[in-house]
Chains A and B, each alone.
Chain A
């Protein structure tokens, strides 16, 4: 089989590259061993958000059923709710199926040939695909257990990432990764989450809201250690009020011999055991570089990731790499933008991957958004910046949503008021990321955002107010 572009991996990076290449008339083959959509659609972003939503709804219902001082001030009363987690998972799977089916249809519509199977790179122009067992989606051209050799002009690597496994706590049995945690057969009584990064906290919080006892173990001194202290504080407070037990500066040693408890060294240096019927290891993800013959290309690496330039070229001519395989930030939207760009470059357009900012969102409770530079990062870069925060306690819409924890913070250059960063924590602030990243990409100044009429009453008013506050004339604080 011959093609112009061969893409290994049908995740957000790979499938977007394929669709765009198809639009541009490039003959494209996409190799994917599982359903299209990759981690994001199948076992990541989408299913986790579905589970978080279901957990939130259940938690709300439970709240309405509470008695005494816990009783909802809204005056809504229900009887104690119950949840059938199997049905929840089925609902989630339905969404995933619809989305992956949609991706398959888009690929087909754009003339992309999808080969179902696992790729093995022979050289920079040749890939062998070992057919996957079982049927595929409508667009799939099933290799049916046979081996197909595909020759290509351009090879795009989009193999994504995988959950990091701890050697002393290998996956299996009660020890699971996020993938399994997103499709539980049943709810555990006590879930121990190893790692208080965004994946651990998102899932830990969801399980807690579903009624499980949850304990989080984190080696660093605070949860979400990658984010600044001020942003994390409302999240830590919510964990506490939800009853999630958090052990900071603690390291997991492994499972007890009977497999019913997690052994760890706590902040005081003592070894303790926590009984647990399920353990979620969420200590990060790493580029998926093994198992498809990547090493045969002897590409320059950047740590564990494939090294690329700002056009996603690897060290080998006409071999490209995008997404998580190329390292941090491992975000679906980064991979999509890179994939789109690579397709355009191959089509002869001049493109560079030079975004002004890439937004990052944690769907914790409350949500956290980071775009561009924090005040600390700006200072480290030697930028003389001003920053200002507007609290949700002063936002009317937040009050009506019973969610006044959190704030919006803006960071701008002192000399010309160019906005270089936004951070926010609060209910539903993930949707504000659109405004944040747009202002930065457009090169907005504080005056631009401050001078834009924001709808009232919305959470977005805090965006305008933060800009006004940085200018020294916030109106509602």
Chain B
């Protein structure tokens, strides 16, 4: 029998560390070659790590939510025959692992980030936000993943308090009872954190603290207005952490300039209806988005400075010839930005199909890494929830993002009379360090021009 160590692979683009978002195996499990061991997350892609060999899982390299350096030990397997592990056979150190892992090119003889068994069990309940794949459903660990449990240390006593059935008497020692009466507290509404649901003085303290925080003071006998206790600590892991970091980075680094303009899309909508009626069956239906994409692509020809990425460390703005259009997409796991590569080379129907394909891939967690990165400008749309105005956050390191608001039919004065027109706002943000307000405004006015005279979208 030998020990085979599987290391965190380099998943490309010079990434130094990956976050474990789900374990598909547990110590003691038998694994086959090509069986998925873990899901790890890089920038915004979730990557499945398969096992190269048959064997039995001995230990896992970290907790869910932990970042492991590329090259760090991911899984240790016991296999038939000689393993690949030449290091000291002594128990791996129970280092409490961190992002500051050994560099990727260092030999990972000292296993990094090993978690002793009992801890792992506790942490194992904490879970995964990356969209579970189809295979994941068969994984016994997957159901637990739907209910992220707070980290074992994170929850206060109050969240563990047991609440009784309505007909069950509250259990409290005489001193606690008396104190509750003195304070005018009905013990029926106080959760008990003690053994067998005993209400302790600490529970009373928590209850009072909850009241002082301004929860409805007197709940009376009406259960609809009963005060609630408890809290849930939700660890920020996986995609959610990536989103948080990305948003923080963007807002911290980029002075946003947001510009809102109204666009009359009456003609555009009429054209879209006509196109769908005529070509819908064979080419698929068009939404507004592929038409907007085309307008953006065309406007970029005049304003190449908005189709760019700004490396503020190096002080270099890179302008791109191709338009790699990011489309902000909501998934169960959170916001993702699949990228339509070379949008300039697609007609609206091709773009529409690509949008659908990528959105689906993102939602099911199947999007490949290069489908989720490398955009040069981003469009964000909340569809019918678009609202009147939004303040989009630029997808760092890009320099512009175009937000789409809701279309509303409104009366407009034309030639001295009122006419119904379909109006829509575009709310767009620009990196004011490299895009001046005038340029931004002109860019949006150009987009607006294309959209209000939709024939120009097809005439060049």
Residues of A whose CB lies within 8 Å of any CB of B are: 349-352, 354, 413, 416-418, 441-443, 445, 447-448
Contact = CB atoms under 8 A, between A and B. Distances in A.
B171 interface: yes
Contacts of B196: 413, 416-418, 443, 445
Contact of A351 (B173, B181, B195, B198): B181
A352 B171 CA distance: 15
Contact of B197 (A350, A351, A416, A441): A416
Contacts of A448: 195
Contact of A416 (B172, B178, B195): B195
B177 interface: yes
B106 interface: no
B174 A441 contact: yes
Contact of B173 (A350, A443, A447): A443
A417 B198 CA distance: 12
Contacts of A351: 178, 181
B384 interface: no
B193 to A, nearest CB: 12
Interface string B307-325: 0000000000000000000
Interface of B: 171-174, 177-178, 181-182, 184, 194-198
A443 B198 CA distance: 7
B181 A418 contact: no
A418 to B, nearest CB: 4
Contacts of A352: 181
A441 B173 contact: yes
B70 to A, nearest CB: 49
A350 B187 CA distance: 13
Nearest to A352: B181
B173 A445 contact: no
A292 B302 CA distance: 107
A349 B195 contact: no
21 contacts: A349-B181, A349-B182, A350-B181, A351-B178, A351-B181, A413-B196, A416-B195, A416-B196, A416-B197, A441-B173, A441-B174, A442-B173, A443-B171, A443-B173, A443-B194, A443-B195, A443-B196, A443-B198, A445-B196, A447-B195, A448-B195
A448 B182 CA distance: 28
Contacts of B194: 443
B182 A350 contact: yes
A interface, by DSSP: helix, strand, loop or mixed? loop
Shortest 3 CB-CB distances between A and B: which pairs? A416-B196, A418-B196, A350-B181
Contacts of A418: 171, 196
Nearest to B195: A445
Nearest to B194: A443
B interface, by DSSP: helix, strand, loop or mixed? helix
Contacts of B177: 354
A445 B177 CA distance: 18
Given A441-B174, A442-B173, A443-B173, A350 B198 contact: no
Contacts of A417: 196
Nearest to A417: B196
A104 to B, nearest CB: 29
A52 B174 CA distance: 33
Which of A352, A443, A447, A448 has most chain B Cβ within 10 Å?
A443
Contacts of A349: 181-182
Given A416-B196, A417-B196, A418-B196, A443 B172 contact: yes
A443 to B, nearest CB: 4
Nearest to B187: A354
A468 B392 CA distance: 66
A91 B117 CA distance: 73
A116 B181 CA distance: 36
Contacts of B184: 350
B399 to A, nearest CB: 62
Nearest to A441: B174
Contacts of B172: 443
Contacts of A416: 195-197
A93 to B, nearest CB: 36
Contacts of B171: 418, 443
A413 B195 CA distance: 13
Contacts of A413: 196
Which of B172, B195, B196 has most chain A Cβ within 10 Å?
B196
B220 to A, nearest CB: 16
A352 B170 CA distance: 14
A354 B186 CA distance: 13
Contacts of A441: 173-174
Given A351-B181, A441-B173, 4 more contacts: A350-B182, A413-B196, A418-B196, A442-B173
A413 B178 CA distance: 25
A447 B198 CA distance: 14
Nearest to B174: A441
Contacts of A350: 181-182, 184
Contacts of B173: 441-443
Contacts of B178: 351
A27 to B, nearest CB: 23
B179 to A, nearest CB: 10
A413 B197 CA distance: 13
A443 B196 CA distance: 8
A313 to B, nearest CB: 15
A448 B195 CA distance: 10
